[in-house]
A and B are shown apart, each in its own frame.
Chain A
């Protein structure tokens, strides 16, 4: 469909910035427009990249969690976590061959991030019963993944949210 969603969003931004903002002199109205401007910049990037970012992040997270689960095995301190991760990795998040909707990618991403966060708690609170040398390697893997994740998402937030928020 043309114009694309991005083109329409950019058009709305132009109208608000050039036709509405100069007349919105009341402080709260002008403030709301500044917030809306940032959100529209974000949506302009997000509408065309969200699916790909989530898809890449899910693949990356799956590889990380698989690696961590394999290293942990079925150790007593982490057996429940490992079982939950395996269930998520085996889950069919969408029917085979169907279009991967953003909603289904987001649902999968939320679950995988929850597992990672839970593992970070296990590692932090009790070392998860892992050898120290292995802990260092896993922490490095997690740190490297997070760096990739944040760089992948970076265009969604910077520059869109770097101006005045209100």
Chain B
């Protein structure tokens, strides 16, 4: 938690000007990192200016993903000079008195909302809104996935696979290592699922792309039917673009999946591997297991006592372990079809993600 008084003192120092915080609130939800939206008058006299800002701060556990906030900051810095719509990054800091030394970054607030009015309306109007939303998202993802990441220097700080063929295995090895380095207890059921997935890693990725990692419904900032800022790049990386569709938080269920993907492929100029997409739908569950379980170390040593941490780090993880083990032995496309064939809400509830 941070208070208006703390933020006032901190911003006054950083802007080297008087600051009056007019409002400050933490957005909900947001479990992996704290996001605070604030409005403040900065400066005095003729230089006084009202600014809307966003503070993104690591929780006391150090973050709900095994990637430092500094990496997300570097992504923002590079994207700010690119065609991808994002909030303007101002600065990053850590290890200072503000926020008990926790890593944090400041961005300019972008006017808009993660909520999309009318998205769940019934009838033809609702259908058209869902189609337009899915297509707009597809076009923006195509922009991300075709960005010349070498020209923008993403390979200078993000792990980079040697080839498209190697992209999925490279990503898998990184997350496998995260699991065995960070898990709070041996879970042989998860080990079994990892080895089952590992035997079926596809090698037909079309290209190495910048991927967002965490995207889809409720992740971007929308205004007047358009994405005005792509937010939350905490799991961004270089690899197979299919994973952004596998973890698009319901975007593929919004409209006809194949028509949405066809629209994306037309915009991107390449075809996605459907087998890689199937693989990633299961691999993302494993990534969730890693993120949720590794945060529990901070709960157990008392650094971060939020109740949601053991709920998801223990309960959701055990339910995901159970679900993955019920699929072991199947071909990944068959397994994905089994999971996809069940009501999405049931799947999410079993995982504790509803």
The answer to whether B352 touches A161, judged by C-beta atoms less than 8 angstroms apart, is yes
Q: Which residue of B lies closest to A117 (CB)?
A: B186
Q: Which residue of B lies closest to A146 (CB)?
A: B189
Residue from A28, A35, A149 within 8 A of B189 (CB atoms):
A149
Interface residue? A42 (CB, 8 A): yes
Residues from chain B with a CB closer than 8 A to the CB of A116 are 186, 188
Residues from chain A with a CB closer than 8 A to the CB of B187 are 113, 117
Interface residue? B104 (CB, 8 A): no
The answer to whether B192 touches A120, judged by C-beta atoms less than 8 angstroms apart, is yes
Interface residue? B330 (CB, 8 A): no
The answer to whether A28 touches B186, judged by C-beta atoms less than 8 angstroms apart, is no
A31-B29, A32-B306, A147-B325 as given contacts; A165 in contact with B186, CB under 8 Å: no
A36-B307, A117-B191 as given contacts; A161 in contact with B319, CB under 8 Å: yes
A110 to B191 Cα, complex, angstroms: 15
Q: Which residue of B lies closest to A110 (CB)?
A: B185
Interface residue? B218 (CB, 8 A): no
Q: Which of B317-335 contact A (CB under 8 A)?
A: 318-319, 321-322, 325, 328
Interface residue? B315 (CB, 8 A): yes
Interface residue? A85 (CB, 8 A): no
The answer to whether A113 touches B311, judged by C-beta atoms less than 8 angstroms apart, is no
Interface size on A, residues (CB 8 A): 35
Task: Identify the B interface with A (CB < 8 A).
Answer: 26, 28-29, 31, 185-189, 191-192, 195, 306-308, 310-312, 314-316, 318-319, 321-322, 325, 328, 349-350, 352-354
Task: Given A38-B311, A146-B188, A162-B350, output 13 extra A-B contacts at Cβ < 8 Å.
Answer: A27-B28, A28-B26, A32-B306, A117-B186, A117-B188, A143-B328, A150-B322, A157-B315, A157-B318, A158-B322, A161-B319, A162-B354, A165-B315
A-B contact pairs, 17 of them (CB 8 A): A31-B29, A31-B308, A42-B315, A110-B185, A113-B187, A117-B191, A124-B195, A146-B188, A146-B192, A146-B325, A149-B189, A153-B318, A154-B322, A156-B318, A161-B319, A161-B352, A162-B349
